[in-house]
């Protein structure tokens, strides 16, 4: 890019700060449930319950002495994020608080209904939270909002399902959880089924992308392109190898995707 060329705009400062707050709160809760804590499961459940109560109280009052919760609550109140979204999030996190798997412990598998409920709470609502931040000062018709909300849910679900395929070994062997099958196995047929689901979810999300504000579109487009690329690499990986190595994108590949998104947005502006 030449020096005189306009750089692609990042979200404005208020949007950059605020759209990261749901994700920061999510990371904090996930650290409690992913087996990284040295506290026993009961202590983790109590800590998560306190965090949930503190979050609810801060959204209601606008204040928390915890700076992360306070920042999230400030954004939630401004963007209209309510317990309709935070409740399912905490429910999904709570379902994971079983600690690390010991030898001989049974595997916890999810059927299709349990998978859908878990993904809604752990991923779809995070997409909806970010969307409410993106649209906080934007006007959209009711029909456009429904399209955007559907796209946000589908993108969150695609992200989660991609990571389930990437994390098969860690989830099943260390954490004792199987998010993609009830019995903990993913053979070639099931791998193809989940790849087809992910592709459909990404297509649905891409269809909603033009309705996003320009400032948010490049970031969401980058994320969508990265996970689409990961999905294609997962599709080419033999099912037996999914438990042996984690599929990744190199730093140059990620940089190329960012450049593609920036170029696409610039062409759109010129057009």
Lowest-pLDDT range, 21-25, 90-94, 148-152, 169-173? 21-25
Structure tokens belonging to residue 94: 């709570």
Q: What ranges in 34-139 are assigned the alpha helix state H? A: 41-61, 67-79, 83-95, 112-119, 125-134
CA angle 45, 48, 53 (to 5 degrees): 125
> Taking 80 as the threshold, does the pLDDT of residue 178 lie above it?
yes
Instruction: Show Cβ contacts of residue 48 under 8 Å, excluding neighbours closer than 6 positions.
Output: 29, 32, 33, 90, 93, 94, 97
- The pLDDT score that the predictor gives to residue 184 is 85
- Nearest-angstrom CA–CA distance, 229 and 193: 17
pLDDT surpassing 90 at residue 213? yes
- pLDDT, greater one: 254 or 38: 254
**198 band by pLDDT with thresholds 50, 70 and 90:** very high
In angstroms, rounded to a whole number, what is the distance separating the alpha carbons of residues 10 and 226? 18
Q: With a threshold of 0.75, does the pTM exceed it?
A: yes
Length of the chain: 271
The backbone torsions φ and ψ at residue 235, rounded to the nearest 5 degrees and listed phi first, read: -65, -30
């Amino acid at each position: 890019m030449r020096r005189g060329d306009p750089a692609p705009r990042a979200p404005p400062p208020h949007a950059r700060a605020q759209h990261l707050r749901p994700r920061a709160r999510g990371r904090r809760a996930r650290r409690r449930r992913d087996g990284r804590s040295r506290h026993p499961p009961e202590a983790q459940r109590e800590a998560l319950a306190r965090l949930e109560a503190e979050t609810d109280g801060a959204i209601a009052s606008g204040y928390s002495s915890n700076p992360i919760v306070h920042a999230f609550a400030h954004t939630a109140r401004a963007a209209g994020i309510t317990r309709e979204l935070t409740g399912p999030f905490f429910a999904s996190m709570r379902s994971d608080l079983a600690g690390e798997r010991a030898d001989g412990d049974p595997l916890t598998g999810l059927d299709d209904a349990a998978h859908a409920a878990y993904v809604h709470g752990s991923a779809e609502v995070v997409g909806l939270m970010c969307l409410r931040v993106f649209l906080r000062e934007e006007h959209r018709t009711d029909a456009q909002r429904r399209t955007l909300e559907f796209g946000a849910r589908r993108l969150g679900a695609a992200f989660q399902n991609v990571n389930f395929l990437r994390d098969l070994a860690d989830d099943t062997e260390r954490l004792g959880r199987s998010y993609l099958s009830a019995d903990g196995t993913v053979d070639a047929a099931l791998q193809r089924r989940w790849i087809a689901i992910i592709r459909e979810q990404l297509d649905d999300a891409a269809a909603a992308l033009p309705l996003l504000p320009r400032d948010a579109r490049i970031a969401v487009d980058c994320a969508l392109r990265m996970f689409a690329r990961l999905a294609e690499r997962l599709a080419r990986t033999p099912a037996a190898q999914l438990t042996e190595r984690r599929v990744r994108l190199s730093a140059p590949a990620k940089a190329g995707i960012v450049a593609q998104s920036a170029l696409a947005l610039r062409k759109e502006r010129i057009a």
